Chains A and B, each alone.
Chain A
């Protein structure tokens, strides 16, 4: 199941859930459903009696790691971040890695940037794989009591829609400044790329601020890699009328989001499909593959589909069972022709 609990399914139940999953994505995103052959391939992946599946040789892809250095500390192992980078590089087969602070948002990193830069600079001396510096745009931190602007969640129930929108617009400008400031410092310290992780978590203002920050950074540093990973499968309309390049951001799905990411100058785009914890893994995977296939097909830039816990059909649990993660990994790579995870 989408919450990670084990279930048994009959052949007809499995087929039904695969068909329903792709149908749901196709209807919601207005994208093509999976073909009979593709559903058959998914069926075979789920019906295989093995605990672990993999892609065929030659079909491997590149991996990038959101909040990479937090994962080792999160499980309680007392190693520093440079050691974590080395563990991923030398022991876990990482193609790239990401340095991140525990307070994984651009705003709180700004005042401690001088402590972050030397860590990256030292890490770059002893590692070989490309290193990102990553954080979240996290526009939630810009409204009171955490930030300077009136809280839209308090204004909206009072019917103060114009005031709430004004607050969001001010948050966008402040967030752009913080993202550009932090990213500039880490690029000047030698980062191979910047990862804007969970973009859009605070809705359309969050997405707009990130696109504009990317635009500024790409003008400043045309050769630097910028990865933009999304927070959810569609952009929440918290403001409702924010536009980028004339396109209304609220309600955009991955195959629409990527076109704006391209325009802003994003190098690698990380789309998301949320896992529904109360539906089966076959339902979730058919749905996720349908969305991602449409996104990869229209994209001119590399796509690294988000397949962490709770997205990309990976169950919503801290310890995802490897039978479903490996099946999701194989299916997503083989069926969407993406460029990375």
Chain B
């Protein structure tokens, strides 16, 4: 999307038709579009299979928050000791079987 105030554009589109980002699995589905060029249905099916849930569960904030906590994928509300930020992206890369650029870069820098 593009120009316009966040209430009129970003928030409206997010509620009308978005996947909800980290409240659900929107970021994970986006990563499959970005790394494998998957169209939306294929990307959703791929992520749902990896998470072992149904496609409609991908936008459920309760199911996804529990799953994201359990799998260390990062959550909207961080709890003590949980994986956050780059730490969580290591888990996301492993779960989805993709390379994440900044994770690869971190590995190289610290010689992992």
Given A224-B101, A339-B40, are A75 and B5 neighbors across the interface (CB < 8 Å)? yes
Q: Is the CB of B16 within 8 A of A326?
A: yes
Q: Is the CB of A60 within 8 A of B19?
A: yes
Q: Is the CB of A54 within 8 A of B15?
A: yes
Please name all residues of chain A whose beta carbon is closer than 8 Å to the beta carbon of B9 when the two chains form the complex: 71, 307-309, 314, 320, 325
A53 CA to B15 CA, complexed, in Å: 9
Q: Is the CB of A66 within 8 A of B2?
A: yes
Residue A310 at the B interface, CB < 8 A? yes
Q: Is the CB of B17 within 8 A of A124?
A: no
Residue A64 at the B interface, CB < 8 A? yes
Residue B14 at the A interface, CB < 8 A? yes
Counting chain A residues whose Cβ lies within 8 A of the other chain, the interface size class is 35 or more
Q: What DSSP secondary structure best describes chain B's contact surface?
A: helix
Residue B51 at the A interface, CB < 8 A? no
Given A62-B26, A92-B11, are A319 and B5 neighbors across the interface (CB < 8 Å)? yes
Residue A126 at the B interface, CB < 8 A? yes
Could you say which of A168-176, A188-196, A247-255, A284-292 contacts chain B? A188-196
Checking A90, A94, A308 against B3 with a beta-carbon cut-off of 8 angstroms, the contacting residue is A308
Q: Is the CB of B30 within 8 A of A95?
A: yes
Residue A139 at the B interface, CB < 8 A? no
Q: Is the CB of A318 within 8 A of B22?
A: no
Given A90-B76, A318-B5, A325-B16, are A96 and B27 neighbors across the interface (CB < 8 Å)? yes
Residue B111 at the A interface, CB < 8 A? no
Instruction: Fill in one digit per residue for B64-105: 1 if any A CB lies within 8 Å of its CB, else 0.
Output: 000000000110100000001110110010000001111001
Residue A306 at the B interface, CB < 8 A? yes
Checking A90, A126, A268, A318 against B4 with a beta-carbon cut-off of 8 angstroms, the contacting residue is A318
A190 CA to B100 CA, complexed, in Å: 8
Residue A89 at the B interface, CB < 8 A? yes
Given A223-B35, A318-B5, are A93 and B17 neighbors across the interface (CB < 8 Å)? no
Residue A6 at the B interface, CB < 8 A? no
The 3 A-B residue pairs with the shortest CB-CB distance in the complex, in nearest-first order: A308-B2, A190-B102, A95-B26
